[in-house]
Amino acid sequence: MDNGASSYRRFLSGDKDGLSEIIRTYNDGLIFYINSLVNNINTAEELAQDVFALLIAKKPSFSDKSSFKTWLFSIARNTAVDHIRHNSKSSSMSVDDMHNLSDSTDLEKRYICEEQKIELHRAISKLYPEYGQVLYLVYFEGFDNTETARIMKKTKRQIEKLLYNAKQALKNELRKEGFEYEQL
């Protein structure tokens, strides 16, 4: 799969279903990524809509220099940064409102898993903002370091160092709260 590039080309050619596929595929990921920047889920939802509106109105050209997903998340980052520049106020929403329960059939396991996720997201939200961004892009969205570097406008080496420091900071934050997350 080409990560949405063919859907975008179809949209540019007049096929509205191409845009629908892009929105369906990337909407949730964009919202959560933008939320890591603006720290407000409602604003993140609005900014994600702005990203898609930009695709509709301006139809920016996509070159195959990166994956479509990387390109789209770069647009989202720029949109969020512009928003932050224009609006100095930001509020946060409870992490509890952002989670879905695991698909596990055992209620106790689902509860424990959900509590771990909540604690993990709370700990991430306490970190330096760039740490939260790099952790989200790499571990929740599955970007590699090169794609993450493009999105965050950093070098690959800076991302590697940032990711290492973010993981260490997250471990320390979780330990302070008496919590060990087994996947770190």
**The CATH number of the domain covering residues in 97-176:** 1.10.10.10
Q: Where are the domains of the chain?
A: 5-86, 97-176
The pLDDT score that the predictor gives to residue 46 is 96
Contacts 24+ apart (CB under 8 A), 48-51: 48/76, 50/79, 51/75, 51/76, 51/79
CA 60/CA 156 separation, integer angstroms: 25
> In this structure, what token pair is assigned to residue 41?
């889920």
> In this structure, what token pair is assigned to residue 40?
């407000």
> In this structure, what token pair is assigned to residue 151?
């999105």
Residue 25 has pLDDT above 50, yes or no: yes
* 137-146 mean pLDDT: 91
Per-residue pLDDT tens for 56-104?
999 999 988 889 999 999 999 999 999 998 886 444 433 333 333 333 3
- Report if pTM > 0.95: no
Fold of 5-86: Rna Polymerase Sigma Factor; Chain: A (1.10.1740)
The pLDDT score that the predictor gives to residue 39 is 85
